[in-house]
Amino acid sequence: MRIQKAKDGRIAIRPYIEIKNLTVRYEMTPALESVSVEIVSGESVAIIGPNGSGKSTFLRALGGLVRPASGSIVLDGSPLARRAPRDLARLVAYVPQDTAVLFEFSVREIVAMGRSPYLSAWGFESRDDLAAIDDAITLMDLGELADRSVLEVSGGERQRAMIARALAQQPAVLLLDEPAANLDLKYQVSLYALLDRLTRTHGLTTIIVSHDLNAVSSCDRLIVLRDGRLHDVGSPSDVLTETMVEEVYGCRASIDTHPRTRAPRVTLDWEKT
Amino acid sequence: MKSLTLRRTVITLAVLSGLLAATTVGSALLGPEQIGLGRAVAILTGRDAPSGDIGDANIGRTILLHIRLPRIMLAALVGATLAVTGAVLQSILRNPLAEPHLIGVSAGAALGVMIAGLVELPGALVGLTTTSVLAFGGGLAALIVLYQLSKVQGRIRPETLVLAGVILNGTLTAGIMVLTTYLDPTRFVGRVVWLMGNLGSLDLGTLGLIGPFLLAGMGLLCLQGHRLTVMTLGPDTAQSLGIRAEFVTRAGLVVSALLIAVAVSISGMIGFVGIVIPHILRRLIGSDYRLLLPASVLSGAIFLIVADTVARVALSPTEVPVGLVTALCGGPFFLSLLAKRRKMGTV
């Protein structure tokens, strides 16, 4: 957490990312309407909501990939829009939902692309770059796959390569769009555990778009979007309620507490009508 | 494929340069008038200086210095241009099957050249300039139409662009064919031979004009290696990796269109180089554009020199348009690629 002494001597937590009245439109269709949230450094945040609620748009806006129609995003004290793409890429890494690769790259070559914001125009990877690539490959357990073609590995393995690519960027903020969608259960669990560890040890801020309400219940805070508007924001135990699921997703669920982790546990009502 | 290192880059490019040199020598010696290696060296080093009389040596000298070597240089420049722009377009359009001809840029440029030949603008005195300007205009107009058609929600959609390109190409080619009917019979054959792709109609002055231009453009593209590697992952990912994706896309398309227009205005429609070369190279040296681009330049040059030598020699003393040679090797290659991709389920 970024801690700052305020003028009166009290210690205040300064938000790392300040989003104010963010509005995004595609052509004329509004995708995001006046969303304001503050995110603290080292926080793990999940964005939830039904399809078309603006989750991915919100994430892309945080990555500087869509130009807001109005409103502002301030990252570490300066507006996102005014940062050069290369500087932004050293702070913020983004893994899209679609991880299709069309050319024969090895897993290692994909991970190496994460060093792009650090390379000179016709430059080759420096010793530091190679170390960062190796670290990312180890973190995502890709050692044995490193020299395989990314066209030949499974969808989940490709997704892990993409996340490793983002980690090789050594960012302060990691944006992940449905990172667990193609992953085996084992890697879903280890991905969330890894993100949790990176948050604690490296002070990494993670912002994840997800449909999996149980997976995100381990995050520090949840942002709930509905029809492009901010529906709610708060800790999982505050936000994950039966009323919210019914209002936002339009289906019924029972919510209790996980016996071991004490996190809220969401069980959808699958009863036949 | 192992990761790219500076060492592997240097070695690969050195090997390809050696191959290019060998191809150049081989092609210079081959032809209806055989020139021995010893005599060629003598001519080039000046020991075979013209003595004033029209002897055997002078004919060899004229053929080597004024016909074959300029033609080889042109083949090298055009082949390099087509191969490297093919590789660039494949990255920017995120489509491994993209090719200068496929998206209609070549046809646009060729239509410009056809119009230049018919309208006899006042500037026709400057000959080349009028043709070049209209070729640029045609190529760029094709590109702008394509760009506008393919933009969905502010971004270029690769699938839409390729589909639109194929249709545009067909339409423009029909336009070219209509214009050929307006040609007077004396020029008809020449124009059609040019359209089919021909490297035989060039003087040294023109080569001196377009050579530096093409080399500068290719050099500029080769410096975008790591940007274009990342662009293959799509504009969003590229942007998130610090690449100005929109700018690289526009600049890459415009520079490619200009280079293709120049190549087309000189040598007509030579197809398939832009797809065959990058694909073979990806198999051999990997997809990293830092090496793929300069390797495409050298290999495209080698490929078109060989193809043009075949075009000159195969049915000697008549000549086959080199565009037919590249199409006859490239077409089946393209189809086998499609068949393989269909099996893999990724077109």
* pLDDT per residue as tens digits for the range B238-284: 999 999 998 998 899 889 988 998 899 888 889 889 989 999 999 89
The pLDDT value recorded for residue B208 is 85
Contact A92 B236 (CB under 8 A): no
Determine the distance in angstroms separating the CA of A253 from the nearest CA of chain B, rounded to an integer. 35
DSSP chain A: --EEE-TTS-EEEPPSEEEEEEEEEETTEEEEEEEEEEE-TT-EEEEE-STTSSHHHHHHHHTT-S--SEEEEEETTEEGGGS-HHHHHHHEEEE-S-----S--BHHHHHHGGGGGGS-TT----HHHHHHHHHHHHHTT-GGGTTSBTTTS-HHHHHHHHHHHHHHT--SEEEEESTTTT--HHHHHHHHHHHHHHHHHH--EEEEE-S-TTGGGGSSEEEEEETTEEEEEE-HHHH--HHHIIIIISS-EEEEE-TTT--EEEEE-----
| pLDDT per residue as tens digits for the range B103-148 | 788 999 999 988 887 776 554 444 556 777 788 888 888 888 887 8
Which of chain A's residues have a Cβ under 8 Å away from the Cβ of B224? 121
A41 contacts: CB under 8 Å, gap ≥ 6: A1, A2, A16, A172, A203, A205
Select the residue from A28, A88, A105, A163 to test the B interface by mutation, using most B Cβ atoms within 10 A.
A105
Q: Give dist(CA B143, CA B139) in Å, integer.
A: 6
Query: Inter-chain contact B3–A108, Cβ cutoff 8 Å?
Result: yes
pLDDT interval class at A29 (50, 70, 90): confident
How many whole angstroms separate alpha carbon B317 and alpha carbon B311? 10
pLDDT at position B126: 46
Strand pairing partners for A114? none
Q: How many CB atoms lie within 10 A of CB A195?
A: 21
**Cβ neighbours of B236 in A, within 8 Å:** 60, 63, 65, 94, 96
Q: How far apart are the first and last CA of chain A?
A: 48
Higher-scoring residue by pLDDT: B176, B118:
B176
Q: Which residue of A has its CA nearest to B280?
A: A104
Q: Which has the higher per-residue pLDDT, A26 or B51? A: A26
Taking an 8 Å cut-off on Cβ atoms, the answer to whether A98 and B226 are in contact is: no
Query: Which of B1, B233, B244 has the CB atom closest to A113's CB atom?
Result: B233
Q: Do B240 and A65 touch (CB under 8 A)?
A: yes
For residue B230, the chain A residue with the least C-alpha distance is A113
Q: Which helix (H) or strand (E) holds B156?
A: strand B155-156
User: Residue B186: helix, strand or coil by DSSP?
Assistant: helix
Instruction: Name the strands in the sheet holding A29-39, side by side, starting at the edge strand that comes first in the sequence.
Output: A29-39, A17-26, A70-75, A78-79
- Chain A residues within 8 A (CB-CB) of chain B? 26-27, 60, 63-65, 85-90, 92-94, 96, 98, 101-106, 108-109, 112-114, 116-117, 119, 121-125, 147, 149, 151, 169, 175
> Could you report the per-residue pLDDT of B196-247, keeping only the tens digit for each?
888 886 777 778 888 999 999 999 999 999 999 999 998 899 999 999 998 9
For chain A, how many residues are written? 273
User: What's the pLDDT at B49?
Assistant: 59
Residue of B nearest to A104 (CA): B287
Using an 8 Å CB-CB cutoff, list chain A residues near B287: 103-105, 109
Q: What's the DSSP call for residue B4?
A: P
pLDDT grade for B192, boundaries at 50, 70 and 90: confident
Whether residue A114 and residue B287 make contact (CB cut-off 8 A), yes or no, is no
pLDDT digit string (tens) for A222-272? Answer: 999 999 999 999 999 999 999 999 999 988 888 888 888 888 888 888 776
Tell me whether the omega of the peptide bond preceding residue B317 falls within 30 degrees of 0, making it cis: yes
Pairing relationship of beta strands A70-75 and A221-226 according to DSSP bridges: unpaired
Give the nearest partner residue to B286 out of A104, A121, A124, using CB atoms.
Answer: A104
Provide the number of CB pairs (under 8 Å) joining chain A to chain B: 101
**Residue from A97, A102, A109, A152 to probe the interface with B (highest B Cβ count within 10 Å):** A102
CB pair distance less than 8 Å for A109 and B236: no
Distance set, CA A142 to CA A8, A106, A161, B194 (Å): 50, 11, 7, 53
Site of tokens 């073979």: B280
Report how far residue B347's alpha carbon sits from residue B115's, in angstroms, rounded to the nearest whole number: 36
Option in A26, A96, A109 nearest B153 (CB): A26
Q: What is the dihedral of CA A78, A84, A85, A90, to 10 degrees?
A: -60
| A161, two tokens | 């390569």
Convert the pLDDT of each residue in B288-312 to its tens digit.
999 999 999 999 999 999 999 999 8
Searching chain B, which residue's CA lies closest to the CA of residue A86? B242
CA B18: distance to chain centroid? Answer: 21
Among A103, A177, A209, most B C-beta atoms within 10 A, so best to mutate, is: A103
Paired tokens of B136: 């640029």
| Cα–Cα distance, A157 to A150 (Å, whole number) | 8
B323-329 average pLDDT score: 90
User: Does A92 contact B230 at a Cβ distance shorter than 8 Å?
Assistant: no
- How high is the mean pLDDT of chain A? 88
Average pLDDT rounded to a whole number, residues B141-166:
78
Among candidate residues B78, B48, B77, the one with its CA nearest the CA of residue B64? B48
Considering only the beta carbons, identify the residue of B224, B239, B287 that sits closest to A105. B287
Encoded tokens for B235: 């504009």
Section B88-100 average pLDDT: 85
Length reported for chain B: 347
> B242–A85: do the CB atoms touch at under 8 Å?
yes
The model scores a pTM over 0.95: no
The whole-number pLDDT of residue B19 equals 97
| pLDDT score for B42 | 83
Residue A155 and residue A157: Cα distance in Å, rounded? 5
The residue with greater pLDDT, B143 or B322, is: B322
Query: How much is the pLDDT for B326?
Result: 92
Q: For residue B343, which amino acid is it?
A: K
The residue-averaged pLDDT of B77-95 equals 92
Beta carbons of B232 and A150 less than 8 angstroms apart: no
Contact A106 B237 (CB under 8 A): no
Question: Among residues A224, A205, A235, A221, which one has the least CA distance to residue A76?
Answer: A205
Do residues A55 and A47 lie in contact, with contact meaning Cβ atoms separated by under 8 Å?
yes
- Residue A4: what pLDDT? 45
Residue A8, pLDDT > 70, answer no
- Average pLDDT in chain B: 85
Please give the residue that has the higher pLDDT: either B46 or A166: A166
Q: Which residues pair with A257 in a beta bridge?
A: A264
Instruction: Answer yes or no: do B226 and A123 touch at CB < 8 A.
Output: yes
Cβ(B146)–Cβ(B161) under 8 Å?
yes
The torsion angle over the Cα atoms of residues A30, A31, A37 and A43, rounded to 10 degrees, is: -170
At residue A217, does pLDDT exceed 70? yes
Q: Which helix (H) or strand (E) holds B176?
A: helix B158-180
Q: Show the CA angle centred on residue A121, arms to residues B5 and B91, nearest 5°.
A: 80
pLDDT tens digit sequence for A44-82: 999 999 998 999 999 999 999 998 999 999 999 899 989
CA–CA dist B52, A130 (Å, integer)? 65
